[in-house]
Structure 1
């Protein structure tokens, strides 16, 4: 795989040009020095040849040898000859040695000549090399100094000119580095000074087309999920999604709740008399009323079950709470004015039944339908509850929940359980920490049962603070090599005081610990408050924590948030995983989620895997990891070694 160069193009060219100029100057100076030395040697040889020629001529004359002692020393001294010896085989005729002190006698240039006019005689000379006594002189070396100064000035000017000419390419290169770093949106349009301009314009066009393709794919994925699981008129869930969520809840341990059916009477007469437009308008009005009422219950599923019938699933709610909700809903519907020919006193009826884990979905829907028919027999807008023994009347009110939670916080906080997330190669990605609390009788209560009460009494930040504190303490004190994940509620992350506390705690935690901390945020609330969550997610990721989006697919939302917050992992809602080998629509949803995260670093993980068949289908679809009882059951993390 190719990697981006760590050296800028301008720096490369500057270094290359500078190296070439320095090498050229070095070669010129070396060549000049060698030539200068050679010229000096040739000059000295030529000069000594003249001195030896004079000596030879003088010795050839009869009185020449006797007169050499008078004029020869002056000539030798003027010629920088330090030693001279004239002799033959019979002995030395004349010798001379200068009196000057030499710092290094080895620098003397030795020469030996045979006299042409005096056969048998020789002359040996030792002289100073040329230029040994010369020193640097501004006047003498001014031309060379000026040449060097001109070369350096030209080099500086040339490098500055080169930098200015290549400034556009540096801008283009820097933009490329930012794009490789993942900041495509910030550098989607290049600077006008970028060069080459054609490459810059081509890059602008490619990024624009890429963004449009991503948005189109996100819209297409949302379109697929919407048409698979949502009613197009009201925006509520359709029958497929409702049955899937009800079946998933009935398969969970310790799960309970209620199913409500709301039917509009005389629907066919309304269609025949007023037409589809008036009928659809009534359906939309009813859907708005029901949607507003279920907002206070975060896990509630509202679906348009048939053309004139809505279904509501209220999980983990007591009989008293459900009956209060039905009464409120009945009063809200009574305030609507239906069009004729509907009777304003007898046009809306509600049937209700309770359900718990282990029951059959078909039987639950039959019970709700029987209760609905009983309500219709009353001849007025009313509701009826199917009579059965299991109605969960022992629920706590907000005061009792607040008292219980205060006791939990004062006694050290919730109890932590853990369950591993296993990747395809069998390695453990992290262990998710699951909060549990004990009631007055010492019975464990799962988070799915008490989290709604935590939000209602305003203890979301307090609960998350207690759980995060215990998890960080566990990571700091215990030499655990594995990573752990902790769930954070969006309500807590919207609290500035909690975010400030969390930031301070993470800043005081070593980087090696933060790299093993995964923070999970529920998808629905995250997308609903995406603008407020972007800076928080950016802060948590910048500190070294991994971001995990939990409960993906519980609601139908756009997947563009994956790129916005740069999520590391996406955890599918367990309702999508339940019996996925038998549900083609859930497989379609998972494929859509995998396609949405294909060009991002996010990896999709399935939660709630119960058996081998589910896992085989999930791995064929392209899931990277799984979590559930198929791999390991939930065990206490308090005494884990």
Structure 2
């Protein structure tokens, strides 16, 4: 680890410098002491020689210097010696040693008699040499120091590795990567701190999950029926508002009203248990059937009436689905009651884009009454005689149209700005439109369901991504060439929707990875959006795909948040950067305190994270004002701008 190596190197260097300084002081002191002692010892020997000479001169006039003085001078390693009296040389000695740095002692021994001595000696330590024993002791000391330093380095490294692991976990916590910090406890030291961090992270994870369960509890009590656990009347109203604009439906589809006429009589005669079992079994079977219908709505309008809305379905498929729904109802184990054959009734109303949403409920209710008048369990379709001709195309014709549009590259990106709370453009969301041979635009609500059925969504989204990257490349070159540095605006960012088929396609994932690597200088300006229901149903399979996109440098967004009653813990687990509230939550938010409660709870659960909350489908100023008060950071919708073709 870089920090550990750096800190260990610094501590070891400081330790070595300290040891070297101490050793230098000791060696310097020893050398100085050795030099001083040898000089002092030599001086003592010279002083002793002088004393002997004076004593001999005073007590033995005959001297006899030649007998005893030369051997002594030889023992002194004298280079030269001269003893004189009043200028007369009494004894001269020349040694067999030569030296360049000699020490000369020129002393007057007896001032009265004029006795004078001139002695030349070599430096006291000039002929000193290390013996093998001394060399061996020195080497042992050096090796001991090296071993001690090595041991200290390893000990420091071991201790600092634990500190580094604590620092790594702390860095992950500060970055908001709590799951990763919990998954790598390591062997951090002090271990007490490491265990404390693990315990706090576990409690934080439990608290976050509990917060997610609490959010789901709030939404469940607000939008779900307590008995059947499907949507309630408020849930149905929100979803119908999301499918309409100014009371005009945005797409085609069908609405069913299912009524159990004698449910009250069944409850009175057979008891609440039998009625509840019939309700639960019927609801479960219908929910299982509706799983194959994308974006379908199933809600309870009253005690014995249910509403089913299936958007983007043809009239023929609506008839087939009505037959299946009635068949499921009739297959339920109905207790012995009067009029068993006249218990279930289904009213259907097919709608197209532009139909009035309020009138739609009335038409379905009229169809329900017509089914009840037939005298037995049956279904009835309200016929307005207005079927979307474009959607009436056969599957073969749609596949041919889509394939030709792909070959001729007739899918075009339309962009709608997302405005932040300061009134600035946060980014633009890309919507896909197609053109037919006459140049007319085909609505996405028409061709996307057919593209999903034909398995062509990966090719369509690939073409859109290529167009967006080309658009970003052109914008980058224009900005760099025309604008001065101090006047350049923030780089434009685009968000692109990805379908389940594209994310689950290995070929598309590999192409996307290669493309993002090729345009890595532009990936930071891309945001990929995934629908909430897709993430909830396929979270484990999508995690590697989403992680790859995030590591490539692009950002992640989950949209349609609030469309389904689910927990929000997946936002942290999938590391989304943005979330977009579904238009059913945003519509008339200023008049719906229950939706405001959901948004407050959602934003509160994302406290201390960098996740931004956006809203889609804002149509009036009051909605945007309320969203800003609640803490929503950005929004998009007709209030700001309509989607325009991106060029």
Structure 2 counterpart of 1:255 = 250
Structure 2 counterpart of 1:30 = 28
8 Å CA contact 1:57–1:117 kept in 2: the answer is no
Structure 2 counterpart of 1:237 = 231
Residues 55-108 of structure 1, C-alpha deviation per residue, up to 9 Å, x if partnerless?
9999999x99xx99xx99x96997687999x9x9x9xxxx99999999xx8xx5
Residues 584-636 of structure 1, C-alpha deviation per residue, up to 9 Å, x if partnerless?
22212222322333354422222222333222221222223223344443222
Residues 437-462 of structure 1, C-alpha deviation per residue, up to 9 Å, x if partnerless?
11343222333332211111121222
Give unpaired runs (5+ residues) of structure 2: 478-490
8 Å CA contact 2:531–2:558 kept in 1: the answer is yes
Distance in 2 between the 1:453 and 1:143 partners? 92
The reply on whether 1:312 has 2:318 as its aligned counterpart is: no
Distance in 2 between the 1:559 and 1:600 partners? 14
Distance in 2 between the 1:634 and 1:121 partners? 124
Distance in 2 between the 1:96 and 1:78 partners? 12
Query: Structure 1 residues 130, 431: closer, same or farther in 2, change over 3 A?
Result: farther
How far the C-alpha of 1:309 sits from its partner, in A, is 0.9
8 Å CA contact 2:290–2:296 kept in 1: the answer is yes
Query: Structure 1 residues 565, 45: closer, same or farther in 2, change over 3 A?
Result: farther
2:209 to 191, 215, 236: 215
Structure 1 counterpart of 2:505 = 495
The reply on whether 1:583 has 2:578 as its aligned counterpart is: no
8 Å CA contact 2:182–2:202 kept in 1: the answer is no
The reply on whether 1:625 has 2:634 as its aligned counterpart is: yes
The reply on whether 1:364 has 2:364 as its aligned counterpart is: no
Pairing 1:322-333 to 2, within 5 Å after superposition? 322-333=318-329
2:139 to 125, 135, 145: 145
Distance in 1 between the 2:501 and 2:632 partners? 30
1:506 to 483, 498, 516: 516
Query: Structure 1 residues 547, 153: closer, same or farther in 2, change over 3 A?
Result: same
8 Å CA contact 2:249–2:355 kept in 1: the answer is no
Pairing 1:86-165 to 2, within 5 Å after superposition? 115=108, 117-118=110-111, 129-131=123-125, 138-157=132-151, 159-160=153-154
Give the total of aligned pairs.
625
8 Å CA contact 2:102–2:120 kept in 1: the answer is yes
How far the C-alpha of 1:526 sits from its partner, in A, is 1.4
Residues 505-539 of structure 1, C-alpha deviation per residue, up to 9 Å, x if partnerless?
333333x3222222211110111011211222222
The reply on whether 1:469 has 2:466 as its aligned counterpart is: yes
1:557 to 561, 566, 581: 566
8 Å CA contact 2:434–2:443 kept in 1: the answer is yes
Query: Structure 1 residues 392, 184: closer, same or farther in 2, change over 3 A?
Result: closer
Pairing 1:258-297 to 2, within 5 Å after superposition? 258-297=254-293
Structure 1 counterpart of 2:551 = 542
8 Å CA contact 1:56–1:118 kept in 2: the answer is no
Residues 147-183 of structure 1, C-alpha deviation per residue, up to 9 Å, x if partnerless?
2322333443455466667776666566556656626
TM norm structure 1: 0.82
How far the C-alpha of 1:18 sits from its partner, in A, is 4.8
Residue aligned with 1:515, SS: helix
1:417 to 410, 414, 418: 414
Backbone CA RMSD of aligned residues: 4.4
Residues 268-303 of structure 1, C-alpha deviation per residue, up to 9 Å, x if partnerless?
212211222222222223323432333333122111
8 Å CA contact 2:162–2:188 kept in 1: the answer is yes
Distance in 2 between the 1:361 and 1:311 partners? 14
Residue aligned with 2:342, SS: coil
How far the C-alpha of 1:187 sits from its partner, in A, is 3.9
Structure 1 counterpart of 2:482 = none
Distance in 1 between the 2:375 and 2:244 partners? 33
